[in-house]
Amino acid sequence: MSKPTFAGSNASLVRAHNLRAVLNHFLNEGSVSRAQLAERTALSNTTITNLIDDLLTQGIVVEDDTETARARASSDGSRRVGRPRTGLRLNPNARYAAGVHIGIGILRVAVVNLHAEIIQNTIANFDVAAPAEHVLNQIARLVKQTIAGSRIETDRLIGLGIGASGLVDYGTGVNVFAPNLGWRDVPLRDWMQDRLGLPTAVDNNVRAMALGEALFGAGRNVGVLAFVYGRVGVGAGFVVNGRAFRGSGAGAGEIGHTVMIPDGGDLCGCGQRGCLETLVSEPVIVREAERLARRRPHSALARCLAQNGQTKPIERIFAAAREGDAATLRLLEGRARYLGIALANLVNVLNPELILLGGMFAQGSEFFLPMAERTMRERAFAGLGDRVRVQPTQFGWRAGVIGAASLALSTFFYQLEDA
Ligand SMILES: [Zn+2]
């Protein structure tokens, strides 16, 4: 009888744990010395030296010249400038990850470096009525195209992250239910892994956005973060203490399907009536604005909406609001109020430090944010809303694709998902 596998797996678990601690230090602190790493991670000098040697060989960590120079200057010629004082930092271009944001009818693909900076990106539309398999084929083609365009060797790609619409089970990589696409039980992860030969992680697209902001954006060092996104659907993603919060299964953050009107509300894509999504989503606002424009054919709104061009209807509605069209401003303010009530409910349940708004809510943030924020503060329980910061996403339209790529970085590089 032999038991080397037992010892082996324990050793690799310990190593993975140590590696995670070191990589996250680089992510959060930038430049650090071996001595600082040992002190802050409580790992032995030998362990740190071995790990760093390994990371230096792989090119993932580099010696930081400016830090070395500073250390040299501060040591004042006493020649105590050996390795322990040398500044070390992550080389952001040592490895890369790919990300895919699946929106409703839109795909965004990007290759990013270890700091989630976009190296190459591609945008394409897809037919929401097409079977899932057609869309998956299109995604695989776009990913290959984007990787080829980035000119990065495939052995430097650590994996692919996909942010999908609706309910997604991160553990199984299955897109369980996407009402706005009519998808049920689409095995996104396994399908992409087989097709592309890249380790793949899949999560809800808004949860991925929240993760991207928590690791690389406005949500760094925020204890409890909520990201609220509005387009065709309305969803939320939460990050608690640096980890994506996934509830007990596939769903957490389905704020779009919280019931705002218990009786007589409009029918939602999910089959229920009166959901938040039936009041503040992009198609609903466009439909309401078109109705207003028909009633006021000489208004700025009617003129803006009638303009033919590259802009989407929602952008033309924002343009009318920027011109001061009173009916448009009233419409947006009314919808922002519903959003604010949903945010108040969210604050009562989650008590976040920061709420980031994305998608249409960020694009038209001057119309949504003030009313939504005020309503949230007025309606949240016992002043819970007073300390919550509300702001648009730092990443703008890139939030989805940076989030998806962050999911790959978090899973396959920084290893934050399995602890
Ligand atoms: Zn619904």
Closest alpha carbon to 111 in 144, 139, 62: 144
Place 180 in a pLDDT band, splitting at 50, 70 and 90: confident
What pLDDT score does 250 carry?
72
Cα 187 to averaged position of ligand 1 atoms, centre (Å)? 23
Sheet holding 354-359, edge to edge: 243-245, 234-240, 224-230, 354-359, 389-392
Measured in Å, residue 335 CA sits from the centre of ligand 1 at: 16
Closest CA to 96 of 77, 118, 127: 118
**CB neighbour class for 62 (10 Å; exposed up to 12, middle 13-18, buried from 19):** middle
Is pLDDT of 239 > 90?
A: yes
CA angle 109/312/284 to nearest 5° reads 100
Please indicate whether the domains covering 4-90 and 96-217 agree at the CATH topology level: no
The rounded Å distance from CA 11 to ligand 1 centre is 48
Mean residue pLDDT of the chain comes to: 90
pLDDT of residue 14: 79
How do residues 185-220 score in pLDDT, each as one tens digit?
A: 999 999 999 999 999 999 999 999 999 999 999 999
Look at residue 74 in the predicted model and tell me its pLDDT: 54
272 CA → ligand 1 middle, Å? 5
| Residue 282 reports pLDDT greater than 70 | yes
* Residue 232, SS3 per DSSP: coil
Decide if pLDDT at 95 tops 50.
yes
pLDDT of 286 higher than 90: yes
- Confidence (pLDDT) at 125: 96
Q: Domain-by-domain residue ranges, the chain?
A: 4-90, 96-217, 224-393
Q: How far is the CA of 223 from the centre of ligand 1 (A)?
A: 29
pLDDT of 257 over the 60 cut: yes
DSSP state of 246: -
Q: What is the mean pLDDT of residues 254-262?
A: 93
CA of 374 to the centre of ligand 1 (A): 25
> What average pLDDT score do residues 1-26 get?
67
Residue type, 266: D
- How many angstroms does the Cα of residue 384 sit away from the middle of ligand 1? 27
Q: CB of 372 within 8 A of CB of 255?
A: no
Å from CA of 71 to ligand 1 middle: 58
Residue 207 has φ and ψ, to the nearest 5°, of -65, -40
What would the DSSP string read from start to end of 156-203?
Answer: GEEEEEEEESSEEETTTTEEEEETTTTEEEE-HHHHHHHHH-S-EEEE
Instruction: Please compute, for residue 308, the number of CA atoms within 13 A of its CA located in the half-sphere on the CB side.
Output: 0
266 C-alpha vs ligand 1 centroid, how far in Å?
10
Strand partners, 344: none
pLDDT of 419: 47
Helical (H) or strand (E) element with 67:
helix 65-74
Q: Evaluate whether 233 touches 268 at the Cβ level (below 8 Å).
A: no
Average pLDDT over every residue of 24-33: 87
Q: How remote is the CA of residue 257 from the centroid of ligand 1, in Å?
A: 4
pLDDT of residue 80: 47
CA 130–ligand 1 middle distance (angstroms): 22
Residue pLDDT, tens place only, 143-153: 999 999 999 99
What percent of the chain has pLDDT above 70? Answer: 92
CA 158 to CA 288: how far, in whole Å? Answer: 45
Largest alpha-carbon pair distance within the chain? 88
Query: Looking at per-residue confidence, does 10 or 279 come out higher?
Result: 279
**Span 96-217: which CATH code?**
3.30.420.40
Q: Which of 157, 181, 146, 155 is nearest to 167 (CA)?
A: 181
| pLDDT for res 309 | 80
CA of 137 to the centre of ligand 1 (A): 29
Could you tell me the pLDDT band of residue 7, with boundaries at 50, 70 and 90? very low
How far away, in angstroms, is 355 Cα from ligand 1 center? Answer: 22
pTM of the model: 0.90
Mind listing the pLDDT tens digit for each residue in 119-170?
999 999 999 999 999 999 999 999 999 999 999 998 999 999 999 999 999 9
CATH code of domain 4-90: 1.10.10.10
Per residue in 383-412, pLDDT (tens digit) is: 999 999 999 999 999 999 999 999 999 999
Q: Report the CATH architecture of 224-393.
A: 2-Layer Sandwich (3.30)
- Distance, CA of 240 to CA of 94 (rounded, Å): 28
User: How far is the centre of ligand 1, averaged over its atoms, from the C-alpha of 277 (Å)?
Assistant: 6
277-281: long-range pairs with CB below 8 Å, 24+: 277/233, 277/234, 279/335, 279/338, 280/230, 280/234, 280/335, 280/336, 280/338, 280/339, 280/342, 281/230, 281/231, 281/232, 281/233, 281/234, 281/256
**Residue 137 amino acid letter:** N
What is d(CA 241, CA 17) in angstroms, rounded to the nearest whole number?
17
